[in-house]
Structure 1
Amino acid sequence: MNIPTQTLRVVFAASAFASSVILVLFVRGRAEWTTAFWLQLVAASLALCAGVCFVAFRKGGMRLDGVPWWPFVGLFLRQLALVYAASAIVIAALALAIIYAITRSGPNALALAVLAGLWLSLWLAPGVASLTTWRRLRRTTVGDTLQS
Structure 2
Amino acid sequence: MTTPRHILRVVFALSALACSVILVLFVRGRAEWSDAFWLQLAAASSVLCAAACVVAFRDGRLRLDGVPMLRFVLVFLRELATIYIVSGVAVTAIALAVIYGVTRSGANALALAVLAGLWLSLWLAPGIASFTTWRRLRSATAGDIRQPARP
What range describes the TM-score normalised by the shorter chain of this pair? Answer: over 0.9
Residue 104 of structure 1: aligned partner: 104
Residue 87 of structure 1: aligned partner: 87
- Separation in 1, partners of 2:131, 2:38: 29
Residue 66 of structure 2: aligned partner: 66
Greater helix content: 1
Matched residue SS, 1:144: coil
TM-score by length of 1: 0.97
- 1:139 CA drift (Å): 1.1
Which letter maps to 2:45? Answer: S
- Separation in 1, partners of 2:59, 2:143: 19
Residue 75 of structure 1: aligned partner: 75
- Separation in 1, partners of 2:112, 2:125: 19
Residue 43 of structure 2: aligned partner: 43
TM-score by length of 2: 0.96
- 1:9 CA drift (Å): 0.2
Q: How many residue pairs are counted as aligned between the two chains? A: 147
- Separation in 1, partners of 2:27, 2:120: 15
Residue 30 of structure 2: aligned partner: 30
Q: CA RMSD in A?
A: 0.8
- Separation in 2, partners of 1:56, 1:2: 23
- Separation in 1, partners of 2:65, 2:110: 44
Residue 12 of structure 1: aligned partner: 12
- Separation in 2, partners of 1:69, 1:137: 12
Is residue 113 of structure 1 aligned with residue 113 of structure 2? Answer: yes
- 1:146 CA drift (Å): 3.5
- Separation in 1, partners of 2:7, 2:54: 16
Residue 137 of structure 1: aligned partner: 137
Structure 2 segments unaligned to the other structure (5+ residues): none
Which letter maps to 1:117? Answer: G
- Separation in 2, partners of 1:139, 1:64: 12
- Separation in 2, partners of 1:59, 1:26: 32
- 1:144 CA drift (Å): 1.3
- Separation in 2, partners of 1:139, 1:74: 16
- 1:145 CA drift (Å): 3.9
